[in-house]
Structure 1
Amino acid sequence: MSGTWVVVPAFDEAENLEVLVPRILDHLDLIPGGGHVLVVDDGSRDSTPDVMAKLCADNDRVHVDRSVRNRGKAAAMQRGFALAIDEGATAIVMMDADGQDDPAELPRLVARLDDGFDLVTGARVERNDRFVKRHTSRLYNWATGRLSGAPGRDFNSGFKAMRPDVARDVSPMLYGELHRYVTVIAHWLGYRITEEPVQHHERMFGKSKYGIARFFRGFMDLMTVRFLMSYEHRPSHLFGGIGIVSFLLGGAVLAYLTVLRFLGQTIGDRPLLIAGVLLVVVGVQLLLFGLLAELVVYNRQRDGRTKP
């Protein structure tokens, strides 16, 4: 079952799926080789299982994988990518189930892969979202671009087309809420990425599953991705560097206080003494932590080399 596979993670989206899936099928027919739709039901509590059972019965190009509990979008994407790859997909598209992504854009996104790109993001030129969501997303995209160095202006778009190799290599990092950073991770791994302007519509039915809290979670996830991008194989450069700075500052403070003590001044009641000792202790702890982290990386690399 080769061709283009559209992976749609869904949680309580019965009304939307009933309309969206047939529309996706119509536009998949315009892509050379055709394709399939895979809905990953992430523990829906509404009538999504019934809707998908009917859609699967009506068309053998519609597939569903159901989880008994809600595991989150990242886990759903990881599962969907694995199933599509196992079925021999020649291209994989990730798409949201709320109807805001336009299936008519599918042929154009997949065609850009033939231009030599490995991942194409559907960049939403005009967002049909609430005021707060639009502006927090704008700030998020700016911060992501600055911290990651990846080119683009709409990293948070859930509408992406990619080659199977990209999906396979990105999947191990899709945990927590890191699905927002598929583009950044692909860029970090060395794949060629680009953006294609797409239409963005209002949600068809239901309410968004995300609130303002996702902005703060997204920022913490960005810190995680940035750390992994820069220090996955050399954690002591980060922790050791901060530790050395802390140790030197603490040492300078204690040296200054030692001179004062020799000059006959009392230093025992000075807050600066506590600060100096604390800086030295924290510096040593960070240095040791960095070395322990290096041991973990070394053992992982050694185990990888010794496996048959």
Structure 2
Amino acid sequence: MLSVSIVIPARNEASTIAVVTKQLISLRPDFELIVIDDGSTDGTGEVAADAGATVITQPYSKGNGAAIKRGARAATGDILVFMDADGQHAPADVERLLFKFDEGFDLVVGARSGLGSQASVARWGANSFYNRFASWMVGQPIDDLTSGFRAVDRRKFLSFLYLLPNGFSYPTTSTMAFYRAGYSVGFLPIKVAKRQGKGHINLLRDGLRFLLIIFKVGTLYSPLKVYFPFSVLTAGLGGVNYVATAMVSDSWRFTNMTALLISSGVIIFLLGLLSEQLTNLQYKDVSVDED
């Protein structure tokens, strides 16, 4: 029987971590429970330890992704379950996640649905766009690209640690990496509660970072699929400029703008081709196991 480790990154979640920890231990005392105290200043680590969790303390805040990586390295279970410390994820849903995992998946993501499951309208809109964009990239429906509630094969997850950022976009990166490697990814509909306490994401500060997720999705899966349309568009504008100039001046000659647009389109295509090859190299040592 496969063993399970639950990893919870926590930063200044003293008001909720005890409840989450006690509920998890009550439901499954046989599961390893690790809380990564990411430089908290409110005693989160002490509260979690008193509630029965194994606590790993980071001397200063390194980010959600860094906490996840620290917990994954420390865990001993065959299956890792990641969840938030703020009370949004129901401990009872861990069992449902694992039942889905047992159907043959390598990664199962708890998928939030509807506006009520998001922190704000802006967050819901951004996540909806990410899901549609990522679904187009991989050719499969992706119900929730950014959910932090997930169960994953530990050995396979560890093979992608070098790809994972230290910030909040680790779910996006890991999901796309699993798709790119040919592993099986499943989604389980879940309901999330309203988070308790203050969130750590600032829309103004992190807005650009979330936009960069779009480019990361393409880079991790198939860069050429993103670069190629832009190259065709740019070169096509060069062709349009060539025809328009000819119609106005009655002279079929290449202008500087036409040459610039067409050459830019070619360069963008070549950059996409190079990125595609570099992406292939990232996954050259990842094998899809049939066991």
TM class, shorter-chain normalised? 0.7 to 0.9
- Structure 2 CA distance for partners of 1:255 and 1:146, relative to 1, 3 Å: closer
Aligned partner of 1:144 among 134, 142, 165:
134
Of 153, 175, 183, which aligns to 2:175? 183
Structure label with greater radius of gyration: 1
Query: Does residue 184 of structure 2 align to residue 192 of structure 1?
Result: yes
1:75 to 63, 66, 77: 66
Deviations 1:97-137 (A, max 9, x none): 11010001112211222221222222234645444244443
Q: Distance in 1 between matches of 2:234 and 2:142?
A: 36
Q: 1:106 to 1:47 in 2, by over 3 A?
A: same
Pick closer, same or farther for the CA change 1:113–1:245 going to 2, 3 Å.
closer
SS in 2 for 1:15: coil
| Distance in structure 2 (CA, Å) of the matches to 1:27 and 1:160 | 18
Aligned to 2:93: 105
Structure 1 residue aligned with 2:195, among 199, 203, 212?
A: 203
What does residue 145 of structure 2 align with?
A: 155
- 1:23 corresponds to which residue? 23
Structure 1 Cα separation of the partners of residues 183 and 5 of structure 2:
20
Tell me, in whole angstroms, the C-alpha distance in 2 between the residues paired with 1:292 and 1:143.
22
* Maintained 8 Å contact 2:127/2:145: no
Q: Which amino acid aligns with 1:209?
A: H
Determine if contact 1:177/1:218 at 8 Å carries over to the other structure. no
What's the CA shift for 1:10? 1.0
Q: CA deviation at 1:258?
A: 9.6
Q: 1:122 maps to which residue?
A: 110
After superposition, where does 1:1-308 map in structure 2 within 5 Å?
A: 3-29=3-29, 34-55=30-51, 59=52, 62-84=53-75, 87=76, 89-125=77-113, 127-132=116-121, 133-175=123-165, 176-181=167-172, 182-204=174-196, 206-213=197-204, 214=206, 217-231=209-223, 273-279=255-261, 282=264, 286=268
Query: For 1:221, what is the secondary structure of its paired residue?
Result: helix
Contact 2:113 2:191 in 1 (8 A): yes
Task: Please give the secondary structure, in 1, of the residue aligned with 2:74.
Answer: helix
**Does the C-alpha gap of structure 1 residues 278 and 46 become closer, same or farther in structure 2, counting only changes over 3 Å?**
same
Following superposition, the deviation at residue 293 of structure 1 comes to: 6.0
Q: Secondary structure at the match of 1:103?
A: coil
The change in CA–CA distance for 1:194 and 1:260 in structure 2 (over 3 A counts) is: closer
Structure 1: state its 5+ residue gaps.
none
1: CA distance, partners of 2:56 / 2:203: 29
2:279 and 2:92 map into 1 onto residues whose CA distance is 45
Q: Any conservation in 1 of the 2:137–2:221 contact (CA below 8 Å)?
A: no
3-state SS in 1 of match to 2:78 = strand
Give 5+ residue unaligned stretches, structure 2. 286-291
Which amino acid in structure 2 is aligned with residue 276 of structure 1? Answer: T
| Counterpart Cα distance in 2 of 1:66 and 1:217 | 26
Give a deviation string over 1:160-189, Cα, whole Å, max 9, x none: 111223322332321144323133332222
- For residues 143 and 74 of structure 1, what CA distance do their matches in structure 2 show? 22
Contact kept, 8 Å, 1:121 with 1:195, in 2: the verdict is yes
* Cα separation, partners in 2 of 1:26 and 1:247, compared to 1, 3 Å: same
1:60-119 deviations in Å (ceiling 9; x for gaps): xx22222222222122212221222xx2x1211010111010001112211222221222
Shift of 1:221: 1.0
Q: Calculate the TM-score normalised by the size of structure 1.
A: 0.72
Question: Does 40-49 or 214-223 show the bigger shift?
Answer: 214-223
